[in-house]
Each structure stands twice: as structure tokens, then as C-alpha cells.
Amino acid sequence: MGLLMTATHTPLDAQVRRGRAPDPTAGWAPIALGVSFGWDQAANGQVVGGQVRLPLLRDGTVEVVPNAQLVFLRGNKEYQYSLEAVFVPEGVRGGLLLGGGVSWRDAVLSRTGPNDTGDPRQRHSGYNIVVGAKNNVGVVQIEVSLRWIFLNDTNYRPTPATFGVNYPLWRTAPPRP
């Protein structure tokens, strides 16, 4: 009888007091897709971009954010790619965010001539720091951010300030305080 009971183990109702439902566990913070626009002060041009916010922790306090931006300059374009780790203390509720990561920028920074493909842009890598805030407004998240990008082997320091709208792919209730 003991072997039969262990082989057919099922959860027991005695684990929860009768008449009370167990506390539901919070689901994973949602993945969010977003677009942004803004201004890059160092490049003196408009910025349009996109990003994906991927939570690493269930409550959304740590996210990985791959993003790409297109910077429109007079007569030229620059491309910015970043992979960032972001800390959001309030998780799915939003609030302040702080992070950093690695960046690549395709830009014309010198007059050395075109590269092997005939494009005058050269790819530079470096790191970045991001500060900002995000908040839930209806079914979307509104986000503002400022990035400082430190490219290796150059004094060029792009600083895009952006305003974005993110769309979470599913909803989860924020954790109780």
C-alpha cells in the first residue's frame, strides 16, 4: 500500500486551509517590443530606433535590451547597435532604470576614404551607460532614456536622448507592496 501511494503521488488538499485558495504565483514579466525617437546631441541629428525588452528575472527587475537606432544627419546616416543589461528596481511597475552594455556604431568619423564595400562609414565599438524611466500607461509602456556612448579609439561621444513606446506581449499583475 505504501509503494502504491508513493507511485501515485498527488497534491493533497490539506496543504491549504479549506475555503481559502492558495496565493497565485506571479507570472513572468512580459517581453516588450518598442520604438523610439529622439535627438543625438553629439551627432546633431534625429534618432529613430527599435528595441526588445527581455526580462531575466521573473519580476522584471533585470532586463536584457538589444536595440538598434538610425541617426539621420545632413546628407548621411549613422547606425547604432547596443546590447544592454538594465536594472529596474520596481520591475513590471516601471520607474527609474539604470544600465549599461556594449555598443557598435557605423559612422563617418574621419576622411580616410571608403571601406572595402565602398561605404565611407567605419564600425566602431565601445560601451554605453543608460539612465531613464518607464511607466505603464494603459496597454503600453512609455519610456524616456539618455545614453552616453563611449566608442573605442575615438573622441566621438554620441549622447542620444529618446522617447519611446513599448508594447508588452502579455499582461501580469504587479507584485504586491
pTM for the whole structure:
0.75
Phi (first) and psi of residue 68, to 5 degrees = -140, 145
Say if residue 4's pLDDT is above 50.
Answer: no
Q: At 44, is the pLDDT very low, low, confident or very high (cuts 50, 70, 90)?
A: confident
- Between 118 and 52, the higher pLDDT residue: 52
Domains in the chain, ordered, with CATH?
31-167 (2.40.160.20)
- Phi, psi at 48, each rounded to 5°: -130, 135
The maximal CA–CA distance of the chain, rounded, in angstroms, is 85
Mean pLDDT (the chain, rounded): 83
Angstrom distance (rounded) from CA 171 to CA 48: 26
pLDDT score of 74: 83
- In the prediction, which pLDDT does 23 show? 57
Query: pLDDT band for position 43 (50/70/90)?
Result: confident
More confident call, 160 vs 73:
160
The answer to whether 1 and 126 are in contact (CB under 8 A) is: no
Q: What is the mean pLDDT of residues 157-177?
A: 83
Average pLDDT for residues 131-157, to the nearest whole number?
93
Instruction: Name the most confidently modeled range: 12-21, 100-109, 119-128.
Output: 100-109
Instruction: Give the pLDDT confidence score for residue 7 in this predicted structure.
Output: 47
Between 41 and 36, where is the model more confident?
Answer: 36
Q: What is the rounded distance in angstroms from the CA atom of residue 35 to the CA atom of residue 44?
A: 20
pLDDT greater than 70 at residue 32: yes
Residues in a beta bridge with 105:
80, 124
pLDDT tops 70 at residue 112:
no
Percent of the residues in the chain that have a pLDDT greater than 90, as a whole number: 54
When comparing pLDDT for 89 and 1, which is higher? 89
